[in-house]
Structure 1
């Protein structure tokens, strides 16, 4: 039944592979269950309630992706967007968390409308194939950079921005050991290599003080109530200029983060069709829109497609069964949160570093001889890790593409949608 519904055999995969891929994706993004409540709670939101809202929104959005889109992508409240919610809108601008939730709610409604009228699909399909491959490479570097920072191998440095961390740090030992174990298993073509690497790193972390088991550890616990944050909106300032600015920022970042993830992971996994388009992209964007809409009602920040989905794809996930497994794991996490919280960031970092390597393989498909193609591709790749943003990488890549094509008289190579997007990007920077 599952094989027929998800066309697992038709996609040259197996149920076991899809389930392992889903568990791997979940393991690389489970940190959001701890991080999102921690970030949003600084606004005064109930931390325990945010935990439940985070898990529930991930379950609902990922289920839509699994059952409607049937693609191996997972969704949850997005990093960066939650920080903007808490530190900029609430702590910086002085608005209530109810005001910020209202902006997220409106964002979800707008995205549903834009998706229904194919506006977001037009944007995805307007990106040139060369840039789509560059997005995959950029995401690869971005993921690897996140992994390296999580292990402590790369640290902040005021003089040089980043530098090498202490090799005596147990976190570095755990992260690098995970990379070696995973690499060894991959070279031996062992199924579930990424997942085994995460689990092995977690066990090693117990011996070096990186993995911590709380004294009050409970295997099973009931999920906290979401009542303190459920449907808590403030519509009194909907038509204010600040609401417009906040709403535009949420829309912009979420749109291009999602677009980048869908395009990049699809490019790496070979899911792009003969025209270089993402299959069933409208349905995928619909899942993202529904996630944000429902997430706001539940009481959490913007829900987006996770770049960590690349880990499951790298493990062989090709269908919605991978996403269904992720949704199931998030549902389990509502009751087994203490178990999943034991896994340290250093353990999942090893998987992110390896996935980063896997994601850069489309670089061989990029045209590096035509500088009107090579420079935009390079900007796309380099700006993602350096600005810590998939969206900014796409902005610089697409803007430079349009400008160089215009200056060299290659107007016909730029679609009308690309011209419109470029103008909007310029307005974002200078108006």
Structure 2
């Protein structure tokens, strides 16, 4: 215990070993679905499902250990949005092979690393108005709540519209039950309420036929071999220079602002932001993500981000790298216990996402709603994050509208130069992606 105290300064940061480990369990169970969603995405590009599952477990574990080395309470793992970009944009739309797409991801990670190691990192963070930071956090709350509602079946997508799901369906009914149980536990201020809610909901799923015992305990490591050192750096120019530049610039922007949005979100959930709403030492999370994303493709793994579901553990009290180290151990264990991890149904983890979204939406109260030039960009940011299913697009729309309104209203001189640069980059990203 003394060693852990020296390494992670637990007492100084108002936490304990028990709280860190409990937070790791909570976050891991909340994000465990990524272990199975990721290969379902990437297998559409021709990658082996089992191999991607193994690569996801291994790369997530190593990335979490890197985050722990920085003593950061940020769990690292592939993100749903980044997986979708890899599959549907790089491979199925632009036409890159999965090996070439892995190379694009690695190059984007290097570009992001350069940004994270220069003063531009802190300038990017400081150039975002406080109200915009709150809007990002609130928008992310809506986003993960929407993911939870869709995953649970409480809300369904049909013909381009979001509709109420089939409440009587077993999985949907179980999710509603889990939402009520976890909500009551939180109202009673029970420590670890979210984790307890996931476990209880999972157990209740057995008689409803939603929770299923694993059919097999076998997982062959041989499936990982074809993916090791597979990025095709020599073939990234096969489609031309402009498509490569477009892919790298667009992906770097998405990676950068997905990460920044998640950092603000999770730091806000744990009350880790400084008095000015800055990230302080926690901005090093950008470097951890950049290094992980640059290296992950060498394992045949998808891009690494900071899943906003990690806010569950931080909201439960996790504050240090011990939390992320423990999460990394759980990802390693999932290599052997992946079939057991699959026992946790989406109906059991979805309530956690909805409730964390509820906790995060309170950030909207800190927005200056009486100033339209601030309120409108913030509002657009909040609604575009869930509506476009993209953190980067939500932030992009917010930046562009904020800059445009400030210029037209004669307040352009108050905007930092970096804000103009980022706005231009966002505009360029949308123009390039439209070509």
Band the TM-score falls in, shorter-chain normalisation? over 0.9
Instruction: State the Cα distance separating 1:101 from its structure 2 match.
Output: 0.9
Secondary structure, counterpart of 2:280 in structure 1: coil
Q: Which residue of 1 aligns with 2:197?
A: 197
Q: Which residue of 1 aligns with 2:43?
A: 41
Q: In structure 1, which of residues 60, 63, 74 is the aligned counterpart of residue 62 of structure 2?
A: 60
CA distance in 2 between partners of 1:183 and 1:30 (Å): 21
Q: Does the CA-based 8 Å contact 1:132-1:267 persist in structure 2?
A: no
Q: Which residue of 1 aligns with 2:23?
A: 21
Q: Which residue of 2 aligns with 1:217?
A: 216
Q: Does the CA-based 8 Å contact 2:231-2:300 persist in structure 1?
A: no
Q: 1:427 to 1:93 in 2, by over 3 A?
A: closer
Question: Any residues of structure 2 matched to 1:354-373 within 5 Å, and which?
Answer: 354-373=355-374
Q: 1:97 to 1:30 in 2, by over 3 A?
A: same
Q: 1:417 to 1:281 in 2, by over 3 A?
A: farther
CA distance in 2 between partners of 1:313 and 1:194 (Å): 11
Give per-residue Cα distances to partners, 1:191-246, cap 9 Å, x unaligned. Answer: 110001111111111111211223x333x756454210111122334342222222
Secondary structure, counterpart of 1:156 in structure 2: strand
Q: 1:423 to 1:91 in 2, by over 3 A?
A: closer
Q: 1:363 to 1:95 in 2, by over 3 A?
A: closer
Q: Which residue of 2 aligns with 1:135?
A: 136
Aligned length: 427
Give per-residue Cα distances to partners, 1:242-297, cap 9 Å, x unaligned. Answer: 22222222212111111101012222322111232112244211110111112110
Instruction: State the Cα distance separating 1:173 from its structure 2 match.
Output: 0.9
Q: Does the CA-based 8 Å contact 1:133-1:362 persist in structure 2?
A: yes
Q: Does the CA-based 8 Å contact 1:74-1:323 persist in structure 2?
A: yes
CA distance in 2 between partners of 1:95 and 1:138 (Å): 32
| Stretches of structure 2 lacking an aligned partner (at least 5 in a row) | none
Q: 1:14 to 1:281 in 2, by over 3 A?
A: closer
Q: Which residue of 2 aligns with 1:208?
A: 208
Secondary structure, counterpart of 2:305 in structure 1: strand
Q: 1:294 to 1:429 in 2, by over 3 A?
A: closer
CA distance in 1 between partners of 2:7 and 2:60 (Å): 22
Q: Does the CA-based 8 Å contact 1:138-1:385 persist in structure 2?
A: yes
CA distance in 2 between partners of 1:185 and 1:416 (Å): 47
Q: Which residue of 1 aligns with 2:229?
A: 231
Q: Does the CA-based 8 Å contact 1:30-1:340 persist in structure 2?
A: yes
Instruction: State the Cα distance separating 1:420 from its structure 2 match.
Output: 0.8
Question: Any residues of structure 2 matched to 1:166-177 within 5 Å, and which?
Answer: 166-177=166-177
CA distance in 2 between partners of 1:82 and 1:350 (Å): 23
Q: Which residue of 1 aligns with 2:272?
A: 271
Q: Which residue of 2 aligns with 1:123?
A: 124
Q: Does the CA-based 8 Å contact 2:249-2:429 persist in structure 1?
A: no
Secondary structure, counterpart of 1:162 in structure 2: strand
Q: In structure 1, which of residues 5, 8, 11 is the aligned counterpart of residue 7 of structure 2?
A: 5
Secondary structure, counterpart of 2:429 in structure 1: helix
Instruction: State the Cα distance separating 1:309 from its structure 2 match.
Output: 1.2
RMSD: 1.7
Q: Which residue of 2 aligns with 1:180?
A: 180
CA distance in 2 between partners of 1:291 and 1:372 (Å): 37
Q: Does the CA-based 8 Å contact 1:222-1:335 persist in structure 2?
A: no
Q: Which residue of 2 aligns with 1:326?
A: 327
Q: Does the CA-based 8 Å contact 1:155-1:162 persist in structure 2?
A: yes
Instruction: State the Cα distance separating 1:92 from its structure 2 match.
Output: 3.0
Q: Does the CA-based 8 Å contact 1:22-1:322 persist in structure 2?
A: yes
Question: Any residues of structure 2 matched to 1:252-291 within 5 Å, and which?
Answer: 252-291=253-292
CA distance in 1 between partners of 2:58 and 2:327 (Å): 12
Q: Taking structure 2 as the reference length, what is the TM-score of the superposition?
A: 0.94
Q: Which residue of 2 aligns with 1:79?
A: 80
Q: 1:331 to 1:8 in 2, by over 3 A?
A: same
Instruction: State the Cα distance separating 1:397 from its structure 2 match.
Output: 1.4
CA distance in 2 between partners of 1:313 and 1:148 (Å): 21
Secondary structure, counterpart of 1:210 in structure 2: coil
CA distance in 1 between partners of 2:430 and 2:203 (Å): 47
Q: Which residue of 1 aligns with 2:164?
A: 164
Instruction: State the Cα distance separating 1:332 from its structure 2 match.
Output: 0.9
Q: Does the CA-based 8 Å contact 1:222-1:334 persist in structure 2?
A: no
Q: Taking structure 1 as the reference length, what is the TM-score of the superposition?
A: 0.95
Q: 1:370 to 1:92 in 2, by over 3 A?
A: closer
Give per-residue Cα distances to partners, 1:357-383, cap 9 Å, x unaligned. Answer: 011122221111111111111111111
CA distance in 1 between partners of 2:35 and 2:100 (Å): 23
